[in-house]
Amino acid sequence: MTVVGSDTERLTRADNAEPLLVVKDLKTHFKIDAGIVKAVDGVSFELERGKTLGIVGESGSGKTVLSRSVMRLNIASNVINTGSIRYDGVELIDKSSKQMQKLWGVEMAMVFQDPMTSLNPVVRVGRQLTEHLRYHLGVGKAESRANAIELLRSVKIPEPESRIDNYPHEMSGGMRQRVCIAIALACGPKMLFADEPTTALDVTVQHQILNLLATQQQDRFMTMIMVTHDLGVVAGRTDEIAVMYAGKVVEKAPTPSLFADMRHPYTQALLWSIPKVSQPKHTRLSAIAGRPPDLINPPSGCSFSPRCPYAQDKCREEEPPLVAASTPGHEFACWYPVGSPENQEAYDRNLAAGVAVTLAAEGRITATEELTSDIIAADLINDVIDISNDEVGN
Amino acid sequence: MGRILATRLLRLGATLFAVTFLSFIMTSLLPGDPVNAILGVDAPRDQETVDRIRDELGLDKPLPVRYVNWLGSAVQGDLGESYINRGQTVWGDTIVQRLPVTAQLAFMAIIIAVILAVPIGVLGAYRQGRWEDQTTSAGVQVALSVPNFITGIFLIWLFAVKLKWLPASNWNRISDKGLIANLETAILPSTALALTQMAIFSRLVRSDMIATLQENFVLSAKAKGLSDRYVLFRHALRPSSLSLATIVGINFGALLGGTVVIETLFAIPGLGFRLINAINQRDILVIQGITVFVAVAYVLINTIVDLLYTVLDPRIRKG
Ligand SMILES: Nc1ncnc2c1ncn2[C@@H]1O[C@H](COP(=O)(O)OP(=O)(O)OP(=O)(O)O)[C@@H](O)[C@H]1O
Ligand code: SF4
Ligand SMILES: [Mg+2]
């Protein structure tokens, strides 16, 4: 590939002590007629070079807004962005759109949620693949055509020579998402955001796309944020996972620790909602009973309390802070964390009082539930590893 | 593709028939007897002369027959002669002579309007709700509400009377006086015509552009670090110009028949000016000829615009 920055250069830079991305107390609030939508409300995390962070949460939990805010794509007059985003030692939160343009595409790039709408329908794929290459790096016309073909080849699109003259509607969904990935990779960014890169695609294509992202990340030593509502997607593909609920991170841990010892009831609920192969495709989101909270007037105390099977009075009054769990780097925000005696007591109390709705009501938990989350998680990780080995092998 | 073309042609044929028939009937229904106009109202007349003229003009035959006869000659390029200026043919000496003048006016008006409207519309959408948008929107509102002859009078006052940069009226043909002299006489009337068009166009561009800017592909273009200007003009403009293309075509056709007032104000020897004269003189065949011609041109232009769509939006090409 003829892109900027050789791998050796990246690797030496990677020795720097500071993580590539340090986000502190990031808030993104939208002013609308009905009030202020607190779509992202105080999120902090760090991301080392070459690592992958998974951001998981239900629809509406603020994942897209968070990833766009970190990239500073959410600049508009009705958007209030506060907190700190340090990227490669540089503070981004007070940068204007114009200043960010130098970083977009070149330093950080995004693969968007829906490949059907994120390509311009009236512009040929070839131009969309390389216009930023030409714009940022001054690549000439002939060379950029060769680049476009090379890019399409690298994302495994057959007959790239003829495909570059296609319009997006002449391609399948999976192919378009490959094009979107190629576009994101074109200028050789250090940091890649993938916002539910496979949600709009068929299950069979999903694995191919995820594997493509994984190999490209390794080849290019990219740092990645992978957004999804499916814990199964991030299980075998991330170094760390942040679970989002109502604009906040409610649990965050290195991936193995999270599955070995998940502490937040919402994480647990997400895990139980992972679609089993036998289930039809769209059961996953409905699997958590109740609705996501109103982001304009969130419930007092813990925002998960209206849906939580362990909720006590304290939960409805006081917001739980993020606290450290036993393994390093593992944090959660819950008064009655899963696996603790307090949790069991809270659950029994609710059951006795007849208020243990939601999870329990769906028959997913009983007091004598044998199947622990660890077992499910272990199975799941094995599954995913199997699949990726299969596909990387060919 | 063949079937689509065939149905299009069929539809075009039907429209052309309707358009020519209706404009023929309507011009025939104009009040006033053309015989009076030819003879002069006060002239002494005997029944014999009147009958002879009526017979010559075919006025004694029923309307459908007259239409068929007229159409038969029309498709061969013969639209008859002026009653008043005998020997002056409607096609060769009137339309062919004067169309270039009117077409040039309409064309220049549209070009000026588009050149102004696109940046104004794009700016309004890009800075939606801010002062840039509010100022241009107010300006556009004014342009829309001022009739073009008022604009014309103002332009004459400013550029011809006060500044003395340009002639106040008249028309220099390119063939006689050359391009520069021609443009000197063309620029004021076409600008007067352009202002309203500019207002209409820029509103369309603005509202289509506002919708396009919400599209995901605009955000993804922005996320590539392309400049705002590049995103606006190289990504968002084309998907936002479908309505513009339609209205440009429609309004160009409409302007061919809509330059009457401006041609009169600037004493320009175009179709409109001639039409007004013909109407005053009840010169039926001239009125009919020009009217039908303008209507047919309008229909043909719209058909071309339809085809142009496919260039702007590749997704339609298949259908
Ligand atoms: N421009 C905006 N103005 C007002 N509210 C917004 C805006 N953008 C997003 N929101 C709100 O922010 C909340 C979080 O949205 P976001 O798109 O980040 O969710 P998500 O986690 O990505 O969900 P999904 O899985 O559906 O993509 C939603 O309630 C949404 O309505
Ligand atoms: S137990 Fe309480 S604090 Fe913990 S998630 Fe449930 S409601 Fe929130
Ligand atoms: Mg989203």
Decide if pLDDT at A369 tops 60. Answer: no
Mean pLDDT computed over every residue of chain A: 84
Return d(Cα B50, Cα A256) in angstroms, integer. 107
pLDDT band at A166 (very low <50, low <70, confident <90, very high): very high
Where are the domains positioned within chain B?
A: 2-74, 93-316
Between B168 and A22, residue with greater pLDDT: A22
| pLDDT tens figures, A260-278 | 999 999 999 988 876 555 4
Confidence class of residue A116 from pLDDT cuts 50, 70 and 90? confident
The one-letter code for the residue type at B212 is: T
Q: What is the model's pLDDT at position A16? A: 57
> For A95, left (φ over 0), alpha (ψ -120 to 50), or beta?
beta
pTM: 0.82
CATH class of B93-316: mainly alpha
Instruction: Give the C-alpha separation, B274 to B289, whole Å.
Output: 11
Instruction: Please tell me which of the candidates A109, A121, A135 has its beta carbon nearest to residue B223.
Output: A109
pLDDT tens for each residue of B71-130: 898 888 888 888 788 888 989 899 999 999 999 999 999 999 999 999 999 999 999 999
Kindly report the average pLDDT of chain B as a whole number.
88
- Kindly tell me if the per-residue pLDDT of A371 is higher than 70: no
Place of tokens 């802070």: A321
Q: Which residue of B has its CA nearest to A67?
A: B223
pLDDT at residue A364, rounded to an integer: 43
Q: Could you tell me if B210 lies within 8 Å of chain A, comparing CB atoms?
A: no
Share of chain A above pLDDT 90, in %: 65
Average pLDDT, integer, range B192-212: 96
- pLDDT tens, position by position, A177-213: 999 999 999 999 999 999 999 888 888 888 889 999 9
Q: Is the pLDDT of residue B48 over 90?
A: no
With a pLDDT cut of 90, the percent of chain B lying above it is 52
Which of B129, B216, B226 is closest, CB to CB, to A114? B216
What pLDDT band is residue B42 in, cutting at 50, 70 and 90?
low
Question: What single string gives the DSSP state of each residue in A210-275?
Answer: HHHHHHHHHHHT-EEEEEES-HHHHHTT-SEEEEEETTEEEEEEEHHHHHHS---HHHHHHHHTSP
B226 at A interface, C-beta within 8 A = yes
In sequence order, the 6+-apart residues with CB closer than 8 A to the CB of B118 are B201, B202, B205, B237, B244
String of DSSP letters for A264-325: -HHHHHHHHTSPPTTS-GGGTGGGS-S-PPPSSSPPSS-TTGGG-TT--HHHHHSPPPPEE-
What's the whole-number mean pLDDT along residues B16-30?
82
Selected for mutation to probe chain B from A31, A70, A95, A101 (highest B CB count within 10 Å) is: A101
CATH class in words for A7-243: alpha beta
Domain limits, chain A: 7-243, 256-392
- Measured from the Cα of A199, ligand 1's closest atom is 25
Question: How far B313 CA lies from chain A's nearest CA (Å)?
Answer: 6
- Is the pLDDT assigned to residue A373 strictly greater than 70? no
In chain A, residues with a C-beta closer than 8 Å to the C-beta of B234 are: 123, 131
CB spacing of A105 vs B234 below 8 angstroms = no
Reported ipTM: the value is: 0.82
Ligand nearest to the CA of A285: 1
**Tokens read off for A184:** 């994101």
Instruction: Indicate if the pLDDT at residue B43 is higher than 80.
Output: no
pLDDT classification of B205: cutoffs 50, 70, 90: very high
